[in-house]
Amino acid sequence: MLKFKSNIILAPLAGFTDCAFRKLCYDCGAGLTVTEMVSAKGLHYKNENTKYLLKTAGEAPISAQIFGNDPDIMAEACCSEALKPFDGIDINMGCPVPKIVKNFEGSALLNDINLAEKIISKCAKSTSKPISVKFRIGFRADEDICVEFAKMCEGAGAQFITIHGRTREQFYSGNARYDSIIKASEQVKIPVFANGNIKTIEDYDFLVKQNNVFGVAIGRGALGNPNIFRELNGLTPIDKSTLIAQHYKYLKENFDEHYIQTNFKKHLCYYIDGTAHAKSTRNLIFTSQNIEQAINFALEAINAQS
């Protein structure tokens, strides 16, 4: 079993949770970080793109998240050289993106619990690393298979699970259904992490302290706000200018200029959320000549707010 630094972990987000952002969240108190999802077939065919996704920056413990629909290829991925540096392996059964679902991967596996079980079981038997699973409460809007799926994951060998409290058809709209996560948590013995719209200490207290869910996984709530890990761990927040500087430092240590230009501008737009003239500042950030200019635009907006 993984030893979590805390029960507040960083959920994977495609396009955002690279090693620089993970390291920043780790510094702020994330008890586990997880890579962006990596294709098991991509690992099988040694796709060059997986190198960026699997870069690490000293954050630990860390899990690599993989996705796919072939039990043998998924199990092979778990044993691959590329995943050796990781403390655990997370299986994505919750991604709602159409191209993933059309390939019968991600949340599409909610529609075939037998295949999902076979994948988890083969992965668990293929490696000594802890296997975890991230999934949604169901596929269709009115569906709730949360308890059944959680029990299956436990029986198949998953050592912990993360449950997003929405269905695939909801994507990220509407409220997360914490009641479903709480019921699943009561029915299994493995740790359950709740995911979806967790942004405040009140959300954390409701799930963990009042309803005995093991922990929470913060995804979009951490964008522009790595301080959420400090706040939920009872630590003093760090000012945003310091966070931005540290984030930029980690990017420069791990990525080339082109990657930083395209990636960091997205993050800067989250850092300025809630500031006056955020919309016009976002336009300035995206049309800036270079990343230093973009950072200055963001800092001006933040400093004007304080």
Q: Among all residues, which ones are annotated catalytic?
A: 95
Of 126, 125, 124, 104, the residue nearest 115 (C-alpha): 104
Burial of 234 (0-12, 13-18, 19+ CB in 10 A): exposed
Adjacent-strand bridge partners of 218: 10
The SS3 call for residue 91 is strand
Neighbouring residues of 121: CB distance < 8 A, sequence distance ≥ 6: 71, 156, 157
State the amino acid at position 20 in one-letter form.
A
Record the tokens describing residue 41, joined without a space.
């077939």
Q: How far apart are CA 199 and CA 202, in angstroms?
A: 8
CB 110 within 8 A of CB 164: no
